[in-house]
């Protein structure tokens, strides 16, 4: 069988090893060298272009159904659980905690739960309601496992690597949020970022109030494509007497956006994290759809008050 292997950046170092393993099974193997941002970013065009019969996507669970033969190979990582001992004191004031993690550590979540229960905590694991598939799992763009239990718990614990995933959950919840990072061995509350990102959001909106032209960014990635939303936003912008155009791209290049100098602001309909994490990468404001609606509502109020 002709197959295409696709790896996230953290697994690309093992691409040759996996390619040879598949060749030993009798497969004709190709490896995607393109960036991969998750299961929302399947290399479907590459697979079809080379005539592959199957895409093997490493490191992520299924995001949504696509009309192609895709095999998802989740990549479990056994992180050092001893770090949990260092979090007990930090949680002394909280009795009921919600725990979340990424797909790489889902297999360890039951141990984390039992550990905190042995230390006198009541533990809640939320069920996802979006693209995530497993209880307690969060994605950068899907934090339902945390958000849906926000009113039930006193605090949250994220067990896993990096800040990308817990930051998304933090910004969509209100309770104290503890990160237990087994690789850097950090145990810290990250609640201060809520205020930091609130100010950034308000700054974007303030700058966009003077915008008279908007570029609406649409991704062609399989799990990020939202042309219907882009069309709706374009209509709303133009109904205010402003100008707008829809911009398409696979991987968004911020230098290219900056070269489009006729636009006073951009609106992101692709990965929602772009309008959170990448706002300093363009000279012009990069709004989410909700932030654009806030801008348009404020403009309506300004018009009525004149």
pLDDT tens for 24-34 read 999 999 999 99
**pLDDT tops 70 at residue 160:** yes
Residues in the chain: 306
* Mean pLDDT value of segment 194-212: 96
CATH architecture under which domain 2-73 falls: 3-Layer(aba) Sandwich (3.40)
195-305 and 2-73 share a CATH fold? yes
**For residue range 162-183, what is the model confidence (pLDDT) as tens digits?**
999 999 999 999 999 999 999 9
**For residue range 52-93, what is the model confidence (pLDDT) as tens digits?**
999 999 999 898 889 999 999 998 899 999 999 999 999 999
**For residue range 118-136, what is the model confidence (pLDDT) as tens digits?**
999 999 999 988 888 899 9
Gap between the Cα atoms of 114 and 103, Å rounded: 19
Q: Provide the CATH number for the domain formed by 81-190 in this structure.
A: 3.40.50.11850
* Nearest residue to 74 (alpha-carbon basis) of 90, 89, 86, 58: 58
Check residue 129 and give its pLDDT.
83
Check residue 299 and give its pLDDT.
86
Gap between the Cα atoms of 134 and 102, Å rounded: 10
Strand partners, 147: none
Task: Output phi, psi for 151, to 5 deg.
Answer: -80, -5
**pLDDT tops 70 at residue 302:** no
Check residue 301 and give its pLDDT.
74
**For residue range 275-300, what is the model confidence (pLDDT) as tens digits?**
999 988 999 999 999 999 999 999 88
pLDDT band at 305 (very low <50, low <70, confident <90, very high): low
Q: In this structure, are residues 233 and 239 in contact, taking their beta carbons and an 8 Å threshold?
A: no
Domain boundaries, the chain: 2-73, 81-190, 195-305
**pLDDT tops 60 at residue 306:** no
Q: What percent of the chain has pLDDT over 70?
A: 98
195-305 topology per CATH = Rossmann fold (3.40.50)
Check residue 146 and give its pLDDT.
96
Check residue 131 and give its pLDDT.
86
Q: In this structure, are residues 137 and 168 in contact, taking their beta carbons and an 8 Å threshold?
A: no
């Amino acid at each position: 069988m002709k197959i295409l292997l696709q790896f996230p950046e953290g697994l690309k170092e093992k691409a040759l090893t996996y390619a040879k393993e598949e060749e030993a099974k009798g497969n004709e193997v190709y490896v995607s060298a393109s960036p991969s941002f998750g299961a929302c970013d399947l290399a479907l065009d590459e697979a079809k272009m080379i005539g592959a019969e199957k895409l093997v996507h490493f490191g992520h669970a299924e995001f949504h159904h696509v009309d192609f033969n895709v095999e998802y190979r989740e990549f479990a990582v056994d992180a050092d659980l001893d770090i949990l001992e260092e979090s007990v004191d930090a949680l002394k004031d909280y009795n009921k905690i919600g725990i979340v993690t990424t797909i790489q550590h889902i297999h360890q979540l039951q141990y984390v739960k039992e550990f905190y229960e042995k230390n006198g905590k009541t533990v809640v694991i939320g069920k996802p309601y979006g693209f995530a598939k497993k209880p307690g799992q969060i994605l950068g763009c899907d934090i339902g496992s945390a958000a849906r239990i926000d009113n039930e718990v006193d605090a949250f614990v994220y067990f896993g690597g990096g800040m990308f995933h817990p930051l998304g959950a933090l910004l969509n919840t209100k309770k104290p949020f503890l990160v237990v990072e087994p690789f850097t061995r950090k145990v810290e509350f990250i609640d201060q970022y809520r205020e930091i990102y609130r100010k950034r959001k308000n700054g974007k909106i303030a700058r966009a109030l003077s915008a008279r032209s908007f570029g609406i960014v649409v991704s062609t990635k399989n799990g990020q494509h939202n042309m219907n939303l882009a069309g709706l936003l374009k209509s709303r912008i133009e109904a205010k007497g402003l100008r707008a155009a829809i911009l398409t791209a696979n991987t968004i290049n911020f230098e290219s956006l900056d070269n489009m100098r006729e636009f006073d602001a951009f609106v992101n309909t692709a990965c929602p994290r772009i309008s959170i994490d990448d706002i300093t990468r363009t000279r012009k404001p990069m709004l989410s759809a909700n932030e654009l609606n806030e801008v348009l509502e404020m403009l309506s109020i300004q018009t009525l008050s004149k």
